[in-house]
Amino acid sequence: MSDLPHPTAPRPTARATYRLAPVLRPRGAHRRLAGWLERSPRALRVFTTSERRSKERLFGCRMCGQCALPATGYACPMTCPKQLRNGPCGGVSPLGECEVYPGERCVWLIAHERAESAGRAADLARLQRPVDHRLAGTSSWVSYWLGRDEHLWTGDDGLAAPPAVHRPSVDLGLPRVRR
Ligand code: SF4
């Protein structure tokens, strides 16, 4: 059990993450950088290591390679010991404690509190597709900038607006998803 992830509260406040996230929004420079990184394996390794270190420290990131943070109040769902991507399990205690680690707060409660404080609670109702484990360890920023993670969420969840920092590729002229 000790190898399982622990629910992790992000270090930055919800307000700070929602404010800063648009800095990473795909734009020409990001797209060019991502393309160059993909052609430069050594640079991509350095970049991916930097991403891992920073996101691990800030969010407890596990480098799943398909980042759900914009839809989860920037609380990483992969820090749930069961790695659930669509909300908490049925074992959360009445006090909001994790079933696997009693005494630790369920990361999905943390996610809800953070998203709600930013007026983005509806994002948590998104139906997330299963994690593609082939992407483990890859840079989710590069995927994001190249428009490859546009379909992390299903389109039939009844929610009109995408998460705050996600925009359809048609707005950006990005290449279609490569899966
Ligand atoms: S890339 Fe995956 S593991 Fe890392 S913060 Fe995002 S959702 Fe969590």
- Ligand 1 geometric centre to CA of 150 (Å): 15
- Ligand 1 pocket, 75 CB below 6 A? no
Nearest CA owner, ligand 1 atom 4: 61
Ligand 1 atom nearest the C-alpha of 64 is 2
| For ligand 1, mutation pick of 50, 140, 143, 144 (most atoms within 8 Å of CB) | 140
* Cα–Cα distance measured from residue 176 to residue 179, given in angstroms and rounded to the nearest whole number: 10
Per-residue three-class SS string for 53-117:
HHHHHHHCCCCCCCCCHHHCCCCCHHHCCCCCCCCCCCCCCCCCECCCCCCCECHHHHHHHHHHH
Indicate if ligand 1 lies below 6 Å from the C-beta of 110: no
Q: What is the pLDDT of residue 149?
A: 84
What are the C-alpha distances in Å from 113 to residues 13, 14, 30, 68, 107?
11, 9, 31, 16, 10
pLDDT above 60: residue 171? no
| Average pLDDT for the chain | 88
Closest by CA to 26, choosing from 170, 152, 178, is 170
Residues in contact with 124: Cβ distance below 8 Å, sequence separation at least 6, in sequence order: 71, 72, 73, 87, 108, 111, 112, 115
Q: What is the pLDDT of residues 106-128, one digit of tens each?
A: 999 999 999 999 999 988 988 89
Q: For the segment 19-34, what is each residue's pLDDT rounded down to a tens digit?
A: 999 999 999 999 999 9
Distance 67 CA to ligand 1 centre (A): 4
At 88 the pLDDT is 97
Q: What is the pLDDT of residue 94?
A: 96
Nearest to 163 by CA among 112, 122, 102: 122
- Which one of 64, 138, 139 would you pick to mutate in the ligand 1 pocket, going by the greatest count of ligand atoms within 8 A of its CB? 64
Q: Which is nearest to 109 in space by CA: 119, 99, 100, 98? A: 98
How many Å lie between the centroid of ligand 1 and the Cα of residue 75?
9
- Return the pLDDT at 153: 81
* Residue at token pair 């060019």: 32
